[in-house]
A and B are shown apart, each in its own frame.
Chain A
């Protein structure tokens, strides 16, 4: 099968994946119990609950709700928020999404860098260094994000006072909005103070999330390196007197391909971590948005954000698969 055909099929497969995910969201949000009662709590007067139910379109029969729900989503209609601002849900999501993107991209870079460095070291050197690399990968996996984030806040924010403990920029230093990604916007605006301020705010959240996620890459790269270094062609290289640095480079290249697949799988974990990191650092992204909107009993906003996460995950996984197909010609289409 040709590469483009594989890509086409992979892209088309997004539709059933999305259908499954959206149905799961629907089942969870509408069929387990009454979402409005769950959010308001039992104390609210019945007429308030009834009017909120009507606003959210929950008083129709379930199959009609399901059809409406799918139709609206596929036409890009996420509804209007039910609390505070009464704006289109998609607008509210788009306000928050760049912050989540900024955090996840930064954390992703941190995790891959640390993971590669430690993994390659452990796989190459073995011995005591390898053991400490393994311990690092286990400990970082077991770290609880809010706790680790608080430790960093305590050290760098409270005792050393060199880094801020929350938010995305200092007061008055928020850059004008072009992309919503502060580090990028401040560069576009050409304001160095703003850039430094947003970078400083990004460091602790990105380190927290990045370090917690790095262990998986450490482990994978270490194991791949050991596998590859044990193969016969490496022995042949050594026999021919090829330098260590060339062998190292060669094995890193080969060890890296499976890491790409892991990046796709890790993406869901990255987003899960982002929810906790955002809450810990008062980072105004999608994670904090969901938590806030649940408090406001904003059913449509919560549903919209959850659906948005589903679409986002599905798309990223396709992209990773396609990149993988390009890089590894052995992939079975």
Chain B
């Protein structure tokens, strides 16, 4: 397993450097720097801001100033601190939900694409049906039933994205299975489990990376949408979507920063992943 994936990464890097020209490089670099900065913010939040994001004060609705660079919210909490700590919330949910989606979508997509037959047809049909359903609505209902918590939000989002991983993994498995090295392995009597894990899975990795980056952009928006509607984490946990929702009540009175900055964070992080996805998509699906 180790040498195979190592070879894969070096191949990936050589393909990256070969294919990376002009705009693709710009997309990749800007996307990566956005995502990495957010990861840094999530880790370094306590160093970057002196305030507790959940502790209120009497300094309510202060405009941006030297003391509070983004002002304070209706409960007197420092908005910058809430936004910085909110990065943690969304990244944790993103990581959890991705892990869940992949751990369900990968095996069933693999088995469905490899064995085909009736099981494949049924699974594909069910997945396509779920895929056609408005994702946010499904996530709302599941989140509502499970109750608000980061893990439950991750579960409800994961459920929505399983079909995406399933479809891509299944399609990729089909095409890898028809390649000579897999046929040779089958002909030489290699155990099916070995073929699946050692021959096919490592070759799915590039696809997974691409779907992940595109999906991550979407997941960020879905989580923010869920929390905007009030079905994500419990207040006072700092959460961009929820802060945007609370802030919008003050928008018409001129307190625009309350909703502007949390929403801007959502867009920036989503943009970061979308840029990476665009650059990667170009590498694997090069259109001239």
Contact = CB atoms under 8 A, between A and B. Distances in A.
B244 to A, nearest CB: 6
A146 B263 contact: yes
Interface string B129-141: 1111111111011
Contact of B252 (A20, A35, A158): A158
A29 B138 CA distance: 10
Interface of A is mostly: helix
Interface of B is mostly: helix
A148 B244 CA distance: 11
Given A134-B23, A153-B251, A165-B252, A147 B134 contact: no
Interface stretch (A46-54, A65-73, A172-180, A306-314): A306-314
Contact of A138 (B131, B245, B264, B271): B271
A248 to B, nearest CB: 19
Contacts of B248: 146, 150, 280
A327 interface: no
Interface in A139-166: 139, 141-148, 150-151, 153-154, 157-158, 165
A294 B144 contact: yes
A20 B129 contact: yes
A280 B247 CA distance: 12
Nearest to B22: A131
Nearest to B27: A138
A157 B129 CA distance: 40
Report, as a range, how many residues of chain A touch the other chain. 35 or more
Interface string B216-242: 010001001100110000000000010
The interface centre, meaning the residue of A35, A142, A153 with most chain B CB atoms within 10 A of its CB, is A142
Interface string B243-262: 01100100110101001101
A82 to B, nearest CB: 15
B126 interface: yes
B210 interface: no
A24 B221 contact: no
14 contacts: A21-B133, A24-B130, A139-B271, A141-B217, A142-B221, A142-B271, A144-B244, A145-B221, A146-B225, A147-B260, A148-B263, A276-B136, A276-B225, A317-B132
Interface of B: 23, 27, 125-126, 129-138, 140-142, 144-147, 217, 221, 224-225, 228-229, 241, 244-245, 248, 251-252, 254, 256, 259-260, 262-264, 266-267, 270-271, 273-275, 278, 287-288
